[in-house]
Amino acid sequence: MLKYRHLIGSEDFTIRELEEIFKLADEIIEDQDSFLDSCHGKILGTLFYEPSTRTRLSFESAMLRLGGNVIGFSEAASSSVKKGESIPDTVRTVGSYVDIIAMRHPKEGAPRLASFYSPVPIINAGDGGHQHPTQTLTDLLTIRNIKGQFSNLTIGLCGDLKFGRTVHSLIKALSKYENNSFVLISPQELKIPDYIKSDVLDKNNIKYIEVERLEDVMSSLDILYMTRVQKERFFNEADYIRLKDSYILDSKKMDLARKDLTVLHPLPRVNEISYEVDTDPRACYFKQVKFGMYVRMALMLKLLGVR
């Protein structure tokens, strides 16, 4: 069903298709050894036009654990992009060498443009402040394994909701499921974009509130999704400095939360989660990292049509 498809936005796959990926990820978690040669002879191309640690290494380790290989670049300056090569020409070229491409780009819409020209499946590994669908798959697999459900949840999203592509993707994905509500926690300057509210939340009659104080809503949350204030998305450094410490999750705030709260974070963190929270059993962001590798393994197997 997913063979040779592109993944550009979190809305590209149906609930049924997502469930295919998650079931396969669960199989991989249960018996990783049986998948060691699944991608023997396959090559992943990683086109990362901006820096990444977790996402790039997660893709690379996923393909290597499946028995495949990886080629690509980790910054645009180390490729022919520096000479002025266009995205269409780059993906046409790299697509001649590889079987699947993971692409990160600072400009919104770049992976979608690439998908029009690529001879192989394109996976959006993050485009500007727009979307990050494989992080959303990571988040969903984590929620599925910890909460056991995708419905009837109150999800708090805290920090940079304006530029946070992981937030935008997660809202779109969880909006497909029944009876979820969102608590949007941010300063006025970093509020969720209007198009997310109008095109996703309002359009689907999904409950949400916007607040500025994390303390006021901690006790109501099933999931708290923390995000960093992203320096690279600001044109004015003074604005970044003023807003970067808007929200810091510490043990005092955790004392206000439910015993079964799940705290997630797409990482990297700066100082928005105190290290003292790491030992709290409700802190699940490093489990999230591991789930990210498994779900990317499952995704690539599905898009390549191999088992």
Active-site residue list: 54-55, 83, 104, 132
What value, to the nearest 5°, has the Cα angle with vertex 30 and ends 24 and 32?
80
Rounded to whole angstroms, how far apart are CA atoms 131 and 172?
10
Residue 117 DSSP class? H
Quote the tokens at residue 101: 């491409």
Phi, then psi, of 130 in degrees rounded to 5: -90, -80
DSSP 192-240: PPHHHIIIIIITTT-EEEEES-STTTGGG-SEEEE----GGG-S-HHHH
166, 4 Cβ separation under 8 angstroms: no
